[in-house]
Amino acid sequence: MAITSTSRSESPDIQSPLLSDTVEASVDYKGRPAYKSNSGGWNSAFFIIGVEVAERFAYTGIDSNLITYLTGPLGQSTATAAENANAWSGTALLLPLLGGFIADSFLGRYHTILVAFLIYVLGLGLLAASAILTSPSASDCPNTKNDASCSPYSIQVVLFFFSLYLVALGQGGQKPCIQAFGADQFDGQDPEEQKAKSSFFNWLYFGTCAGILATHLILVYIQDNLNWFLGFGIPCIMMVISLFIFLLGAKTYRYSVKVEDRSAFLRIGQVFIAAIRNWRTSPSAVDLEEEACGTPPHSSSEQFKFLNRALLAPSGSKEDVKVCSLGEVEEAKAVLRLVPIWATSLLYAVVFAQSTTFFTKQGKTMDRSITKGFAIPPASLQSFSTIASVLFVPIYDRVFVPVARALTRKTSGITMLQRIGIGMALSSLSLVICALVEMKRLEIAREYGLVDMPNVTVPMSVWWLVPQYVLFGVSDVFTMVGLQEFFYDQVPSELRSVGLSLYLSIFGVGSYISSFLVSAIEKATGGEGRDSWFANNMNRGHLDYFYWLLAGMSTVQLLAYFYFAKSYVYKSTASSDES
């Protein structure tokens, strides 16, 4: 769909909405100024939430049970499968940086979403096709180890990984843009719509959890008990439905337009280059230039003052030389202030990566029976976390926020960074529970003589895992939603797709760190006849040691996060009560 240029005149016989009703830097689907009365808001946001439900169902259908497919039909070891799963997840969550850059610099969010949808659907279709190519003999020797006859066809492996990373590419374009596009439907300059935007992130995550929950309850069962062709084919169908829902709302959306001729990337890059060129400039010269420009009415101007050197020409004179403006310098500072928060959130992402890998393998060894003849699929155990999130989002939005708002007089109840920190603390606590439960599981395995019987179920109920999953779910409502809103709100308005890409990249880098940790610990603790912490026979492994290590690292990271969060100065255009 083409968005035409903004019309400068209206037909005289058509009554236009009041000028104050217009949304700055936004147009409707015909390229006319967007009005609050007939575009955007919750009417548009509901379509975006619907898209998120269907897309998360599709993506989680691959992500949540990937380690089962890798250790099953593809015959990989537990450690190798965990490394591959983390590497793919990391790539899928780093590619949004590319998608966000393309959207904010070239195509715009709407058209980037459409292109990404097509790539996404193609990848899922090929993934389903790869499942048909399973080796005919694989079903005859599911318990045979190191048997070449059970290995999958080479073409199946190549097609599987090619389509898997094609899905990652599609997700990389779709995910950051759909979130930013949804938030664009609310005017940040309007107090009521600003409040609604904060609520939107809560309900967007509710939609995310609803899609994930449906996957864990329905799709994982199909993958484990029917076949993988259906298990990968259904997500492809859901992505087509997601695209249809997105197009249904096209006439109701607000579309952002650029207000600056130069790219925000170019403006910010020039600030850093100019500051480096002028690094020898005396502080007094910089102070004089600041006075000439006028001190911005916000304490953020006192941070990263070395960037103020960009206000000066390299020679100390502005003749025939274009220098950076004060606004451009403040944009660069806003981006730089995000770095410590981004870095101190990485360990949270490392912990998050365990829920789809070792948690699943851990649950597979336990008693998952509900009734005679029916057991919970291992990957469906993740639904406990999702259910906790689904139940807690309405409580947070309708109970916690109003109570906190009455106490703190802040629009969102608590600041974004306070919200993120609370979730991190809960995540650290959940790791302690993980370690204690795993210690109990190993103790029972030894007590019943099952140490060398990995295929025998340990007589310990899977319900022991529920507390750690529930704490993970509640922590996600605080931290993940808080990170989404923070990285959308605190970047320059033209870089909001990239801002949400930075949020997603936390989990991408976290997955890579997790993969590196697993690989390093596997080499350090295994070999020479020893069982590593991640031995294929989990009764001889020591996941509890790994959980204790992560708990300690998370605690150190939390202290660093508190230090940087305390000194963080919110962007001046943000709601003043965040400071």
Whether residue 20 lies inside any domain: the answer is no
Segment among 6-10, 200-204, 334-338 with least mean pLDDT: 6-10
Give per-residue pLDDT as tens, 269-302. 888 888 888 887 776 666 666 666 665 555 556 6
Q: For residue 6, what pLDDT is reported? A: 38
Whether residue 486 lies inside any domain: the answer is yes
- For residue 226, give the CATH number of its domain: 1.20.1250.20
Whether residue 144 lies inside any domain: the answer is no
User: Residue 142 — φ and ψ, nearest 5°?
Assistant: -65, -20
355 shares a domain with 309: no
Q: Does the pLDDT value for residue 57 go beyond 80?
A: yes
298 shares a domain with 228: no
Whether residue 519 lies inside any domain: the answer is yes
Q: For residue 152, what pLDDT is reported? A: 63
SS (H, E, C) 380-401: HHHHHHHHHHHHHHHHHHHHHH
Q: For residue 259, what pLDDT is reported? A: 65
291 shares a domain with 268: yes
Separation between Cα atoms, residue 508 and residue 2, nearest integer Å? 33
Contacts of residue 383, defined as CB under 8 A and 6 or more positions apart, other chains included, come to 212, 213, 216, 217
Whether residue 323 lies inside any domain: the answer is no
3-state helix, strand, coil in the chain (%, to 5): 70, 5, 25
**Beta bridge pairs of residue 124:** none
202 shares a domain with 74: yes
Whether residue 67 lies inside any domain: the answer is yes
Query: pLDDT grade, residue 392 (50/70/90)?
Result: very high
Closest by CA to 480, choosing from 109, 56, 102, 104, is 56
Q: Does the pLDDT value for residue 245 go beyond 50?
A: yes
Query: pLDDT grade, residue 260 (50/70/90)?
Result: low
pTM here is 0.76
Q: For residue 452, what pLDDT is reported? A: 86
Give per-residue pLDDT as tens, 117-165. 999 999 999 999 988 876 444 444 444 444 444 556 678 888 999 999 9
From 213, 241, 259, the end of a domain falls on: 259
555 shares a domain with 482: yes
Whether residue 113 lies inside any domain: the answer is yes
* Amino acid symbol at 75: G
From 212, 244, 259, the end of a domain falls on: 259
Give per-residue pLDDT as tens, 185-223. 998 778 888 888 888 988 998 998 889 888 888 888 888
Give per-residue pLDDT as tens, 28-43. 888 888 888 888 899 9
Q: Does the pLDDT value for residue 8 go beyond 70?
A: no
N- to C-terminal Cα separation, the chain: 40
Higher pLDDT, 156 or 59: 59
468 shares a domain with 374: yes
Give per-residue pLDDT as tens, 524-560. 888 777 888 988 888 888 899 999 999 999 999 999 9
253 shares a domain with 269: no
**Beta bridge pairs of residue 35:** 22
Q: Does the pLDDT value for residue 1 go beyond 70?
A: no
Asked whether 58 and 72 are in contact (CB, 8 A), the reply is no
> pLDDT > 70: what percent of the chain?
86
Q: How many domains does the chain have?
A: 3
User: Residue 22 — φ and ψ, nearest 5°?
Assistant: -75, 155
Higher pLDDT, 577 or 140: 577
251 shares a domain with 268: no
**Beta bridge pairs of residue 371:** 374
Q: For residue 3, what pLDDT is reported? A: 46
121 shares a domain with 94: yes
Q: Where are the alpha helices (DSSP H) in 295-414?
A: 326-336, 338-343, 346-353, 358-364, 383-395, 401-408
Q: Which domain holds residue 295?
A: 264-314
Q: Does the pLDDT value for residue 396 go beyond 50?
A: yes
Q: For residue 301, what pLDDT is reported? A: 60
Higher pLDDT, 67 or 17: 67
Q: What is the mean pLDDT of residues 498-512?
A: 87
229 shares a domain with 116: yes
Whether residue 78 lies inside any domain: the answer is yes
Give per-residue pLDDT as tens, 476-504. 999 999 999 899 888 887 788 888 888 98
Segment among 141-145, 371-375, 464-468 with least mean pLDDT: 141-145
414 shares a domain with 525: yes
167 shares a domain with 194: yes
Q: What is the mean pLDDT of residues 424-448?
A: 93
Separation between Cα atoms, residue 202 and residue 49, nearest integer Å? 11
Give per-residue pLDDT as tens, 69-119. 888 888 888 778 888 888 888 888 889 989 988 888 888 899 999 999 999
Q: What is the mean pLDDT of residues 174-193?
A: 87
